[in-house]
Amino acid sequence: MDIHTWTAYFLASILIAISPGSGAVLAMSHGLSYGVRRTQATIAGLQTGLLIILLVAGAGVGSLLVASELAFSVVKTLGAAYLIYIGWSQWRSPAAIMTDDLAGPVNAVNMPSSRKRCLTGLLTNVTNPKGILFMVAVLPQFISPSRPLWLQLLVIAVTTVAVDTVVMHGYAFAASRLQTLFKNARAIKLQNRLFGGLLMAVGAGLFFVKRSQAAAH
């Protein structure tokens, strides 16, 4: 991959990362609830899911998902159902806080373990059919058939994950700065319902994603 192609992909990666989506909502939600340090596990999961999508698209499996109505519908339904589930769980989450000297006030009740936060991030990205559609449509534009595929995919993967990691930390940090406004149970409940509602809305929106959108890119 020459420097001009990489620069174009780098800029595209920034635009992809900063565009609002389920990953951004999740990073902000966990950043506000648990602080940036605890959200690192969530972001690690998001990047793992992103890598899986890149490999799936790069290996051509993503094209099969786009071509198969049944396979695409299964992935879309699972992704939508999962986002609605975690959104509903957050909506119903009890409101309580504890003080963390490093991260400030955080939602203490039923706070998931780092492993569960990581898994939530992974599943949020890997079951997102819009991500698969986008990668299947975009990756071929930056891959040269005259160069080794694995090396180009490696450069793309490193670039994408590096950019997305920085952006997701930015979302989490920005949200965590609002923690001082959420020092009581009523405010925590409002926060849970806000982000829970957003996640459910994003999940519901996935039901309207169609295979034909891949050809539009």
Contact indicator for 32, 47 with CB cutoff of 8 Å = no
Q: How does residue 6 score in pLDDT terms, banded at 50, 70 and 90?
A: confident
- The secondary structure of the chain, three-state, reads CCHHHHHHHHHHHHHHHHCCCHHHHHHHHHHHHHCHHHHHHHHHHHHHHHHHHHHHHHCCHHHHHHHCHHHHHHHHHHHHHHHHHHHHHHHCCCCCEEEECCCEEEECCCCCCHHHHHHHHHHHHHCCHHHHHHHHHHHHHHCCCCCCHHHHHHHHHHHHHHHHHHHHHHHHHHHHCCHHHCCCHHHHHHHHHHHHHHHHHHHHHHCCCCCHHHHHC
Does residue 106 have a pLDDT over 60? Answer: no
| Residues 29 and 90 sit within 8 Å (Cβ to Cβ) | yes
94 pLDDT tier (thresholds 50, 70, 90): low
- Residues facing residue 107 across a β-bridge: 97
The answer to whether the CB of 67 falls within 8 A of the CB of 192 is no
Residue type present at position 155: V
pTM, two decimals, is 0.69
Task: Say yes or no to pLDDT of 49 above 80.
Answer: yes
Q: Residue 79 — pLDDT band, cuts 50, 70, 90?
A: low
Q: Is the pLDDT of residue 129 over 80?
A: no
Computed over every residue of the chain, the mean pLDDT equals 76
Q: What is the pLDDT of residue 119?
A: 93
Q: Which residue has the higher pLDDT, 137 or 153?
A: 153
Q: What is the pLDDT of residue 139?
A: 72
Nearest to 97, CA basis, from 114, 113, 110: 110
**pLDDT for residue 210:** 65
Task: Pick 98 or 156 by higher pLDDT.
Answer: 156
Tell me what pLDDT residue 98 has.
44
CA 138 to CA 175: how far, in whole Å? Answer: 30
